[in-house]
């Protein structure tokens, strides 16, 4: 349902994103996976990125990166952060919650897909800083 562009707009405007972020944090294992997939799809639409940040998605994703025992959930968290990293509000939130050291650690110790996403997020953050100079 969150795959179609029209649906992304409607679902985002309906106020569903905060509930999905809550499910991402407090749901069952299956609920967390489903919430992560839905949030990834919804955040592809630029208008939903700010909504997700305001709902607290960045701290929730950081907790997934540091608390998750499964590679799949780390990959999902990194995929969502990668999509969000094109948004200025999300970039500020990523820096504010001290995600950079975790991303650097994942570059050293993570799985190949996770390393790729961590590198993409860091590149996006650093390009933003360079553009401001």
Domain holding 29, by residue range, is 5-132
pTM across the whole model:
0.90
CA–CA separation, 82 and 119 (whole Å)? 9
- Structural domain tally of the chain? 1
CATH number, domain of 44, equals 1.25.10.10
Residue 20 has pLDDT above 90, yes or no: yes
25 touches 57 (CB < 8 A): no
pLDDT digits (tens, 9 = 90+) for 73-99: 999 999 999 999 999 999 999 999 999
């Amino acid at each position: 349902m969150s795959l179609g562009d029209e649906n992304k707009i409607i679902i985002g405007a309906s106020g569903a994103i905060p509930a999905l972020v809550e499910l991402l944090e407090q749901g069952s294992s299956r609920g967390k996976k489903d919430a992560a997939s839905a949030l990834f799809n919804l955040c592809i639409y630029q208008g939903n990125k700010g909504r997700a940040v305001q709902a607290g998605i960045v701290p929730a994703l950081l907790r997934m990166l540091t608390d998750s025992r499964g590679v799949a959930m780390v990959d999902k968290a990194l995929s969502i952060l990668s999509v969000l990293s094109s948004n200025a509000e999300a970039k500020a939130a990523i820096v504010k919650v001290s995600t950079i050291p975790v991303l650097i650690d994942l570059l050293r110790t993570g799985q190949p897909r996770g390393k790729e996403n961590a590198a993409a997020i860091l590149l996006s953050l650093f390009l933003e800083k360079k553009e401001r100079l």
